[in-house]
Amino acid sequence: MTARIIDGRACAAQLRAEYPTRIRSLHEQAGVTPGLAVLLVGDDPASAVYVSNKVRACDAVGIRSFTFCLPTTITHAELLGRIVELNNDDRIHGVLVQLPLPPHIDMREVLATIAVDKDVDGFHLYNVGGLVTGGTVFSPCTPYGVVKLLESEAIPIEGQNVVVVGASNIVGKPMALMLMARNATVAICHAKTRDLAQFTILADILVVAAGVPNLILPQMVKTGAVVIDVGINRLPDGRIVGDVDFEGVAKKASAITPVPGGVGPMTVTMLLDNTIRSAERMTAAAVGLWRPSSL
């Protein structure tokens, strides 16, 4: 078997092509332009690259972005104050604090300070809790992107055995909850799982987000499985690879995402989607009669 390559760039481009129309409609009917505030604390080079990618993606579709580069020395109270200002700023429909934060900042309190209605990263406790009980306003972008990718490839989720490798708050845990909500049977594995292969071999859909290159080898994958590689690892020679032995596993899977060009482009796309939907929600609340079809 040779796997179909799931093209995340093409899927992302198809979704992004719809955004300018939604943004134009908001502007024409309510005079609103979606706005995203991005707060970058400190000088982590990887975070700076992620932030500039997000800003560029906003520009490309017509979302107004506001970037705040804050010094590592910012106090916890000052950072919370900046977030509250943005929560109260009508031009802003999404507030995103790039992670990780310096050690003197309490990340959980920072995320809890972002208004739920502007939490386009989906990291606020309310939005996380909503993944368990229903009622999430915004789903976290990477797992949301994986679900969109599966849907766009017409890969069924309901009733499938899904194994998620990686139990982070940003990807693994919300991924498992979002797939459970779609009636998959889900197991979560992590760094302490003994004999990982005995779980992964059962997966109809295997989602890997562990941050370990070559963690998943062909003998760990069921013939015909769908393999979604969320890993992004830079090798000593500079190459970017995922967590899956792509060449080997592609001979056994029925479909597989490449790295780069798989899940990565979907993550930023879902951030754009959440930001536009936030502007649509707020406009609908402010202008009672106006409701876009996407709500």
* Catalytic site includes residue 251: no
Give which of 132, 86, 136, 133 is closest to 116, Cα–Cα: 136
Q: Say whether residue 6 binds ligand GUN (CB under 6 A).
A: no
**Min separation Cβ 170 and ligand GUN, Å:** 6
Cα separation of 212 and 276, whole Å? Answer: 34
Under rule CB under 6 A, how many of the chain's residues touch ligand GUN? Answer: 7
Q: Say whether residue 96 binds ligand GUN (CB under 6 A).
A: yes
Q: Say whether residue 111 binds ligand GUN (CB under 6 A).
A: no
- Interstrand relation of 240-241 and 233-234 (parallel, antiparallel or unpaired): antiparallel
Q: Say whether residue 244 binds ligand GUN (CB under 6 A).
A: no
φ and ψ at residue 100, rounded to 5 degrees: -80, 165
Distance set, CA 196 to CA 124, 130, 200, 216 (Å): 31, 29, 6, 9
Considering the complex, state which of residue 15 and residue 268 has its C-beta at the smaller distance from ligand GUN.
268
* Interface pattern 163-202 for ligand GUN (x via CB under 6 A): -------x--------------------------------
* CB closest to ligand GUN, residue no: 99
* Catalytic site includes residue 148: no
Active-site position among 7, 54, 119, 204? 54
Active-site position among 7, 98, 243, 252? 98
Which segments of the chain does DSSP mark as H helices, in order? 8-16, 19-30, 45-61, 76-87, 107-113, 125-133, 141-152, 172-181, 197-200, 246-250, 264-286
Q: Say whether residue 121 binds ligand GUN (CB under 6 A).
A: yes
**Min separation Cβ 39 and ligand GUN, Å:** 9
Q: Say whether residue 99 binds ligand GUN (CB under 6 A).
A: yes
Distance set, CA 235 to CA 214, 263, 265, 284 (Å): 11, 19, 20, 47
Which segments of 153-216 does DSSP mark as H helices, in order? 172-181, 197-200
**Min separation Cβ 100 and ligand GUN, Å:** 7
**Is residue 276 a contact partner of residue 23, using CB atoms and an 8 Å limit?**
yes
Considering the complex, state which of residue 26 and residue 207 has its C-beta at the smaller distance from ligand GUN.
207
Q: Say whether residue 98 binds ligand GUN (CB under 6 A).
A: yes
Residues known to be catalytic = 54, 98, 121
**Contact positions vs ligand GUN (CB under 6 A):** 96-99, 121, 141, 170
